[in-house]
């Protein structure tokens, strides 16, 4: 009877957390993601600065509040410096792409001649059906549309600059207040919680916080490693616009289920068909290196962060894409991962029966790191 009761309790707990997670995901993606994004980023930055402050304070005698202000100013200036470098580099590459339309057409013509020669020697009937003039007319129209869109994106980015600056200003001001007044904010938040359920709510918040922080840390590291690998590889292979390609491939690799091979393998096939064997082999080698590094690092970085099998990741990504679009594709696995972590945390307390006494250490960690 006790086992049946525990099984029923676990099932009800899982069903309840799953329902709350789905409803929270729908509410979050529909209405709250963009308005709350600066405060969410500010909370992450303030938590990082608070943790770094405690480590540095052990080795010095500087005031903790002054150290937090100094670190926030440093990261703010560093952020703007990185943004300036990235905008300058991406802007230059976009300008070169828009201005070099004739050069791109010339390269496409050479690639077409190589591919046509390959098809003519191996598949002559297929080669006879290809109309070069019609194909290049379509390609030229596509290239013109891409150039116009790139120019439009640059103009739109310039128009949206005040909104972006306001977003960044709100983020860093919020991070400043969260870091400087952390103790009073945590105490004020605790007083708002009902006394009967305070421990359970803090336990839930702790589980959510650990899940989000683990996923963001793991995803950020994997994104950075992939970007650096692809950027270095494309520079060594002599590719044009390496920064744009690296950002695009790293973004594709960051999406659940997809990987660098989604972009690198078709590119390698095109170079093989076009007769540029060295670049095709180089792209395949780059794909193999990124896949090998991911296989080595992913279990160490992501293993403790996600804690969900690949099938659940695939299902969550597909449902998120169908329900919420691209944002759902990216963030739905995060919600599933966090929901799984919450269920595990609550199951521990339900099975052990030590909810009120065993959480003191975690409650202290919550106070220290929030």
**pLDDT at position 357, please?**
46
User: Is residue 13 within 8 Å of residue 347, measured between CB atoms?
Assistant: yes
In sign, the C-alpha dihedral spanning 222, 242, 262, 152 is: positive
Residue numbers of the chain with a pLDDT score lower than 50 = 353-360, 362, 364-370
pLDDT of res. 366: 47
Work out the burial of residue 335: count CB atoms within 10 Å of its CB; fewer than 13 is exposed, 13-18 middle, 19 or more buried.
buried
Contact 337, 308 (CB under 8 A): yes
Residue 277 has which token pair? 């064997």
Give the CA dihedral 208, 212, 214, 216, nearest 10 degrees: 180
Task: Assess contact for 366 and 206: CB atoms under 8 A.
Answer: yes
Cβ atoms 227, 247 nearer than 8 A = yes
DSSP 27-55: HIIIIIHHHHHHHHHHHHHHHHHHHHHHH
CA torsion through residues 148, 151, 157, 158, sign: negative
What per-residue confidence (pLDDT) applies to 203? 73
Q: What integer pLDDT is reported at residue 273 of this predicted model?
A: 72
CA 285 to chain centre: 25
Residues 6 or more apart in contact with residue 249 via CB below 8 angstroms: 226, 230, 260, 263, 264
State the Cα–Cα distance between residues 360 and 272, nearest whole angstrom.
62
Q: How many residues does the chain have?
A: 370
Residue closest to 132 by CA, chosen among 158, 149, 151, 113: 113
d(CA 298, CA 345): 23
Q: What is the domain partition of the chain in residue ranges?
A: 37-104+131-192, 197-309
Q: Please choose, from the candidates 42, 38, 76, the residue with its C-alpha nearest in 3D space to the C-alpha of residue 181.
A: 42
Q: Are 275 and 118 in contact (CB under 8 A)?
A: yes
Instruction: Give CA–CA dist 131/117, Å, rounded.
Output: 14
242, 90 Cβ separation under 8 angstroms: no
Q: For 322-339, how does the pLDDT look when each residue is reduced to its tens digit (9 = 90+)?
A: 777 766 776 777 777 766
> What is the model's pTM?
0.54
């Amino acid at each position: 009877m006790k086992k049946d009761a525990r099984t029923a309790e676990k099932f009800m707990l899982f069903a309840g957390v799953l329902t709350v997670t789905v409803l929270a995901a729908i509410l979050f993606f529909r209405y709250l993601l963009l308005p709350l994004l600066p405060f969410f980023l500010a909370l992450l930055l303030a938590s990082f600065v608070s943790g770094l402050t405690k480590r540095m304070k052990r080795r010095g005698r500087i005031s903790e509040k002054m150290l937090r202000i100094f670190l926030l100013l440093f990261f703010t200036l560093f952020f703007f410096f990185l943004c300036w470098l990235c905008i300058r580099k991406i802007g230059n590459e976009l300008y070169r792409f828009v201005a070099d339309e004739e050069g791109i057409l010339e390269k496409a013509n050479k690639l077409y001649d190589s591919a046509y020669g390959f098809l003519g020697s191996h598949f002559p009937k297929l080669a006879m059906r290809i109309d070069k003039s019609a194909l290049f007319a379509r390609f030229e129209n596509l290239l013109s549309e891409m150039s116009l869109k790139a120019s439009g994106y640059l103009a739109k980015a310039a128009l949206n600059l005040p909104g972006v600056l306001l977003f960044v200003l709100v983020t860093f001001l919020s991070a400043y207040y969260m870091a400087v007044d952390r103790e009073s904010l945590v105490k004020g938040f605790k007083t708002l919680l009902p006394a009967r359920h305070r421990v359970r709510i803090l336990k839930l918040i702790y589980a959510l916080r650990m899940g989000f922080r683990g996923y963001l840390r793991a995803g950020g590291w994997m994104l950075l490693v992939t970007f650096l690998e692809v950027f270095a590889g494309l520079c060594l292979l002599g590719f044009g616009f390496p920064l744009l390609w690296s950002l695009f491939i790293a973004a594709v690799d960051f999406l659940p289920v997809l990987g660098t091979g989604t972009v690198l393998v078709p590119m390698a096939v095109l170079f093989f068909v076009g007769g540029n064997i060295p670049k095709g082999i180089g792209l395949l080698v780059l794909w193999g290196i990124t896949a090998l590094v991911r296989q080595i690092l992913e279990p160490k970085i992501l293993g403790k962060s996600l804690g969900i099998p690949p099938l659940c990741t695939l299902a969550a990504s597909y449902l998120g894409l169908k329900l919420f679009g691209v944002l759902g594709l990216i963030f739905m696995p995060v919600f599933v991962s966090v929901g799984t972590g919450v269920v595990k945390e609550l199951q521990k307390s339900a099975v052990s029966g030590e909810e009120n006494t065993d959480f003191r250490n975690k409650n202290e960690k919550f106070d220290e790191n929030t």
